[in-house]
Amino acid sequence: MAFQIEQEQILAPPPQPESPQRSGKQRWQAEYRRRLRITDALVIAGAVAMAQAIRFGGLNNDARVDWVGDHDRVGYAAISFLLTFTWLGFLAVGNTWSPTVLGTGPEEYRRLVAATMRLFGLIAIVSLLLRIDFARGYLAIALPVGLLGLILNRLFWRKFAARKRRTGRYLTSTLVVGHRDSAREIMRCFERDPAVGYSVVGVYTPYEIVDEAELTGDDSDLPIVVAESSVVDAVRATAADTVVIAATEHLGTRGINDLLWKLKPLGVELVVTPGVVDVADQRLSITPVSNLPLLHIEKPQYDRAKSFGKAVFDLVFATLALLAVSPVMIFTAIAIKATSRGPVFYRSERIGLNGEPFRMVKFRSMYVDADRVRDTLLAENDGAGPLFKMREDPRVTPVGRILRKYSLDELPQFLNVIRGEMCVVGPRPPLRTEVEQYDRKMLRRLLVKPGVTGLWQVSGRSNLSWDESVRLDLSYVENWSMVQDLLIIKKTISAVTRSEGAY
């Protein structure tokens, strides 16, 4: 009895009223999960019903499962009912509705696929051991239709949550613990990916006493900075529902675990940053050593971007793309030739793989001899770093403005891909004058072929700062994967349609 009293004392929450921000988060998470569960159930039920209707010609039929031995044959109506609820059970056991993965990235889809594959793997084993002959056509329809429907359902709700977050809802109020420089970097990361919904409401600086009146310059973009006696006090002062730790050395080896116990009664989650940025998740792995988690980081993967598989993909994709857009290219060539004198194509020197120069082909979007007057316009440069860009460039023809707005002038670059000088996805093709200003770190961009599109294309294009453009290119070089290439191609179509950052 004494132990029970002591345990209650340990786990009892302090007499601190729950903040409205935390209860708000709990409400939107519960609402989001409820909607997801309902729509997942509808998707699965629809896929199973479709499989039964297509395979057996309707839902009201007497089709039964073939079962070797002296057994009563079970109808497929009962099988469909059982499959639907079992499938939902596997999704629950697989933590596919966990708040930690909902709307946050590939892990949500991985759990979804893993839970579904476990279910159908179990069905295969059971049918083999008990000699139950399920109709193969029935399962062959239910599995892919159901899985595709579940993925599309998650994609729909992720976009729904992203729209809500752009309007200030479905947000996670976050307290950042660490130096102000670390806090500012974390805030930049959150701003680059607003779909995750982290909203920094305070910064706790354990190393310094901060007077808000003294915050000037770079510190002015920081939210309320607090330096209370403890992290828990800072949580209460800011009403945060999540704590992001960027300064683990302040807490010590046991401090994080102790902080978890202190935050538990408040319903506050704890997130620890590993201290690295621009490292893709496929390069990270955790190995526990005597209860100490070690984060392993694989070497940069730029060598994989020069693989035979990527070269084949680039050749096939560029060929198909040229065939698909050939009518547009013919019409564009006629428009250029009819509205201004000069050649249809513009060939410009670019620096490619390992610093080798090549001639990049584009549709001409400027008047003839535009390069000769470039120096007279340098004072009006809107570009970042060594880039020369003008929002209202007088050298651009009326047709050229349309071509640039929708990136139609870049379509001939697929010819460079077929010739092996560029790839479909890669860093932005730089000029020689740019490369001459590269430092040792920036030269890593030349370890792979430049691309027709890339992270810079889908992240703001000409609106990007020079540092951000370099960061994106280096991130692509170091974290290359075929899946990332496909996602960039998908996003490129959307970015070109919106014509954001194009001039």
pLDDT band at residue 15, thresholds of 50, 70 and 90?
A: very low
Q: Which residue has the higher pLDDT, 12 or 260?
A: 260
The share of the chain scoring above pLDDT 90, in percent, equals 21
Going through 38-183 in order, the beta strands assigned E by DSSP cover: 66-67, 132-133, 172-177
- Backbone φ, ψ for residue 320 (5° rounding): -65, -40
Task: Give me 324's structure tokens.
Answer: 């698909």
**What average pLDDT does range 283-306 have in this prediction?**
78
Smallest CA-to-CA distance from 336 within 358, 310, 368, 304 is with 368
CA dist 32 and 161 (Å) reads 8
Same domain, 204 and 237: yes
Domain that holds residue 157: 20-166
Q: How many helices (H) and strands (E) does the chain have?
A: 15, 13
Within-domain flag for 293:
no
- Backbone φ, ψ for residue 39 (5° rounding): -70, -35
Task: Give me 152's structure tokens.
Answer: 């599309």
Same domain, 153 and 215: no
Same domain, 149 and 185: no
Length of the chain: 503
The pLDDT, as a whole number, for residue 185 is: 81
pLDDT band at residue 241, thresholds of 50, 70 and 90?
A: confident
CA dist 485 and 454 (Å) reads 8
Same domain, 140 and 261: no
Same domain, 224 and 358: no
Q: What is the number of structural domains in the chain?
A: 3
- From first CA to last CA, the distance across the chain in angstroms is 75
The answer to which of 129-133, 291-295, 496-500 has the lowest mean pLDDT is 496-500
CA dist 327 and 408 (Å) reads 12
Contact between residue 193 and residue 55 where contact means Cβ atoms under 8 Å apart: no
Within-domain flag for 261:
yes
**Residue 216 scores a pLDDT above 60:** no
Q: Which residue has the higher pLDDT, 342 or 415?
A: 415
**Residue 124 scores a pLDDT above 80:** yes
Within-domain flag for 9:
no
* Domain closes at, from 232, 254, 275: 275
Smallest CA-to-CA distance from 172 within 140, 200, 207, 135 is with 200
pLDDT digits (tens, 9 = 90+) for 161-215: 888 888 888 888 888 888 777 778 888 888 877 777 888 888 888 755 454 444 4
The pLDDT, as a whole number, for residue 358 is: 94
Within-domain flag for 195:
yes
pLDDT digits (tens, 9 = 90+) for 320-366: 999 999 999 999 999 998 888 889 999 989 999 989 999 999 999 88
pLDDT digits (tens, 9 = 90+) for 125-147: 887 787 777 677 778 888 999 99
CA dist 44 and 42 (Å) reads 6
Going through 273-314 in order, the beta strands assigned E by DSSP cover: 284-289, 292-297
**What average pLDDT does range 284-288 have in this prediction?**
78
Within-domain flag for 334:
yes
CA dist 116 and 111 (Å) reads 9
